[in-house]
């Protein structure tokens, strides 16, 4: 009789799916008419700007979830990696299916990772092989989960508090808080300060852009990334040699790697250590800063939620503060799509009415943004709610290639923003300065806020 009791819930969710899809269609038509009647740039540019907003993205996926949950096209939208066409999947069950089936949908980053390291892959670009298991296991021994409470959180809290205290009632959040705090974590916890904070931030940001965001193989970015990678390799190779020559062990990530090397652990040569550290550093600095600013920007557009987050920060309620920030990131994830390539002819949602055949070589865009708003599985998906179970969030991937540092992110992002959110009267600066500025990049570069001293 369980199916009978669940029937009303299932019907209600189907009605929500239909209602959201039709409502999204109406709003998207309105967006197109707005772009058509606008002035200044060309219609195509105006339409692109309107549709690239987070609100329009959510509407587009709401429509896809209704009319074509698994859209398969022959068009190659991604040209930075070889492929034969594009598929977009939007239902939560199908998104998680794609990200779980590593034998059918593989990661594609290997060639560009080899460019960065000068010839070798990094485990984020590997299939589920013995080498993958070895490298991930080695780095888990170095980047320990119990470090989060004992080392990482105090480091981030101290840096963030110092930086906010130095701000005279006004702060450019990326430049004066989130990027410096993430860079200091590399210096103190990873043991990799770089020649300077500015250079390590530039290298890691450029290379993350090159690996994951540059879908069109921009030649100018390619050249910049190759130069950054070469400089990064040269510095880190020399730094590893210098650290090996120091007397006395330091309990940081690079120190632990060198201790494992001295103990004869396989996969811990100087080159292995360098490549794994490059991969982890690329994944730490730009993403931590970007995610923190996206969450903050979303809260600033929601006065009630901002007030709740500020109250949690002032009350020293870290769990509640984190709930506000990660719910904000549900609406503004750093990457709304995660892409994989079909390794063979296969299907998504086999046995369902929405099943689609996926030809070998197709680039599959699995929308984690859409997955977090699917009314068939997420209760009240369009509400801003801080009571959601963590399993709802697909912020840093899923399955074998979920973000290596996801458990670090759950602490570092709230901790670095806490002293700022605790300031009274936190608000946007007047005019364009108070709005998120990407400055021609995919990352938040400026966001000027003010607060009462």
How many other C-beta atoms lie within 10 A of the C-beta of residue 386? 18
- Reported as a single tens digit per residue, the pLDDT across 297-310 is 999 999 999 999 99
How many other C-beta atoms lie within 10 A of the C-beta of residue 25? 16
331's CB contacts (< 8 A; 6+ apart) are 54, 58, 298, 384
Q: DSSP strand E in 351-416: where? A: 356-358, 362-366
Per-residue model confidence (pLDDT) at position 2: 55
Q: In this structure, what token pair is assigned to residue 394?
A: 């697909």
Q: In terms of DSSP bridges, do strands 346-348 and 362-366 run parallel, antiparallel, or are they unpaired?
A: unpaired
- Reported as a single tens digit per residue, the pLDDT across 130-160 is 999 999 999 999 999 999 999 999 999 999 9
Q: Please report which helix (H) or strand (E) contains residue 28, including its range.
A: helix 2-37
Q: In terms of DSSP bridges, do strands 427-428 and 170-172 run parallel, antiparallel, or are they unpaired?
A: unpaired
Spell out a b/e string for 429-440, using b for 16 or more CB atoms within 10 Å of the CB, else e: beeeebebbeee
Closest CA to 314 of 133, 130, 451: 451
Kindly tell me the burial class for residue 2, based on how many C-beta atoms sit within 10 Å of its own C-beta (0-12, 13-18, 19 or more).
exposed
| Whole-number Å distance between alpha carbons of 246 and 260 | 16
pLDDT beyond 60 at 96: yes
Contact at 8 Å (CB) between 124 and 113? yes
Q: In this structure, what token pair is assigned to residue 134?
A: 């070895």
- Reported as a single tens digit per residue, the pLDDT across 207-260 is 999 999 999 999 999 999 999 999 999 999 999 999 999 987 789 999 999 999
| Whole-number Å distance between alpha carbons of 270 and 258 | 8
Q: How confident is the model at residue 4 (pLDDT cuts 50, 70, 90)?
A: low
The residue among 312 and 28 whose pLDDT is bigger is 312
114's CB contacts (< 8 A; 6+ apart) are 120, 121
| Whole-number Å distance between alpha carbons of 262 and 253 | 14
- Reported as a single tens digit per residue, the pLDDT across 48-65 is 777 788 999 999 999 999
Mean pLDDT confidence for 378-407 = 95
Q: How far is CA 211 from the centre of its chain?
A: 13
Per-residue model confidence (pLDDT) at position 102: 95
Task: Identify the structural domains of the chain with CATH numbers, from first to last.
Answer: 1-67 (no CATH), 68-450 (1.10.630.10)
Q: In this structure, what token pair is assigned to residue 362?
A: 């197709």
The three-point CA angle 297-299-302 to 5° equals 120
Q: In this structure, what token pair is assigned to residue 182?
A: 């993430």
Mean pLDDT score of the chain, rounded to an integer? 94
1-15, 20-34, 183-197, 207-221: segment of lowest average pLDDT: 1-15
Q: How confident is the model at residue 7 (pLDDT cuts 50, 70, 90)?
A: low
3-state class (DSSP) for residue 346? strand
The residue among 9 and 147 whose pLDDT is bigger is 147
How many other C-beta atoms lie within 10 A of the C-beta of residue 148? 18
Per-residue model confidence (pLDDT) at position 269: 97
Kindly tell me the burial class for residue 426, based on how many C-beta atoms sit within 10 Å of its own C-beta (0-12, 13-18, 19 or more).
buried
Per-residue model confidence (pLDDT) at position 52: 83
Q: Is the dihedral of CA 311, 316, 317, 323 positive or negative?
A: positive
What percentage of the chain reaches a pLDDT higher than 70? Answer: 98
Q: Please report which helix (H) or strand (E) contains residue 222, including its range.
A: helix 219-244
Contact at 8 Å (CB) between 409 and 390? no
Q: How far is CA 380 from the centre of its chain?
A: 24
| Whole-number Å distance between alpha carbons of 241 and 87 | 46
Q: In this structure, what token pair is assigned to residue 379?
A: 């209760």
Q: In this structure, what token pair is assigned to residue 393?
A: 């969030």
Per-residue model confidence (pLDDT) at position 119: 93
Which long-range contacts link 216-219 to residues 24+ away (Cβ below 8 Å)? 216/78, 216/79, 216/80, 217/79, 217/80
């Amino acid at each position: 009789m369980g199916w009978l009791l669940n029937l009303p819930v299932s019907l209600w969710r189907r009605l929500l799916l239909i209602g959201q899809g039709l409502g999204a269609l109406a709003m998207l038509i309105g967006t197109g008419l707005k772009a058509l009647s606008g002035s200044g740039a060309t219609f195509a540019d105006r339409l692109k700007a309107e549709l690239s907003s987070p609100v329009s993205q959510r509407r587009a996926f709401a429509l896809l979830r209704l009319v074509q949950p698994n859209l398969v096209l022959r068009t190659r939208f991604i040209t930075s990696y070889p492929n034969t066409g594009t598929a977009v999947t939007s239902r939560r069950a199908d998104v998680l299916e794609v990200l779980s089936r590593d034998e059918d949908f593989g990661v594609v980053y290997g060639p560009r990772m080899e460019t960065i390291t000068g010839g070798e892959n990094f485990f984020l670009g590997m299939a589920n092989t013995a080498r993958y298991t070895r490298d991930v296991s080695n780095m888990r021994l170095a980047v320990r989960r119990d470090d989060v409470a004992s080392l990482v959180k105090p480091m981030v809290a101290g840096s963030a508090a110092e930086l906010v205290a130095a701000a005279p009632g006004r702060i450019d959040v990326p430049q004066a808080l989130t990027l410096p705090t993430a860079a200091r974590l590399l210096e103190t916890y990873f043991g990799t300060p770089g020649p300077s904070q500015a250079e390590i931030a530039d290298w890691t940001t450029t290379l993350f852009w090159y690996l994951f965001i540059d879908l069109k193989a921009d030649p100018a970015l390619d050249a910049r990334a190759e130069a950054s990678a070469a400089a990064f390799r040269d510095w880190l190779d020399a730094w590893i040699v210098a650290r090996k020559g120091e007397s006395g062990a330091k309990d940081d990530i690079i120190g632990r790697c060198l201790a494992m090397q001295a103990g004869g652990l396989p996969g811990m040569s100087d080159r292995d250590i360098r490549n794994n550290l490059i991969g982890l550093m690329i994944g730490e600095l730009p993403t931590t800063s970007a995610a923190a600013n996206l969450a903050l920007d979303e809260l600033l557009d929601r006065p009630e939620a901002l007030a709740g987050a500020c109250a949690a920060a002032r009350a020293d309620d870290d769990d509640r503060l984190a709930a506000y920030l990660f719910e904000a990131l549900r609406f503004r994830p750093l990457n709304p799509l995660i892409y994989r390539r079909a390794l063979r002819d296969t299907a998504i949602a086999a046995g369902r009415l929405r099943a689609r055949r996926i030809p070998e070589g197709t680039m599959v865009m699995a929308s984690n943004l859409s997955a977090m708003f699917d009314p068939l599985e997420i209760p009240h998906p369009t509400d801003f709610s801080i009571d959601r179970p963590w399993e709802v969030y697909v912020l840093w991937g899923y399955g074998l290639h979920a973000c290596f540092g996801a458990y670090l992110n759950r602490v570092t992002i709230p901790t670095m923003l806490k002293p700022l959110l605790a300031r009274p009267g936190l608000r946007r600066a007047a005019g364009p300065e108070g709005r998120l500025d990407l400055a021609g990049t995919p990352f938040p570069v400026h966001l000027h806020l003010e607060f009462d001293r």
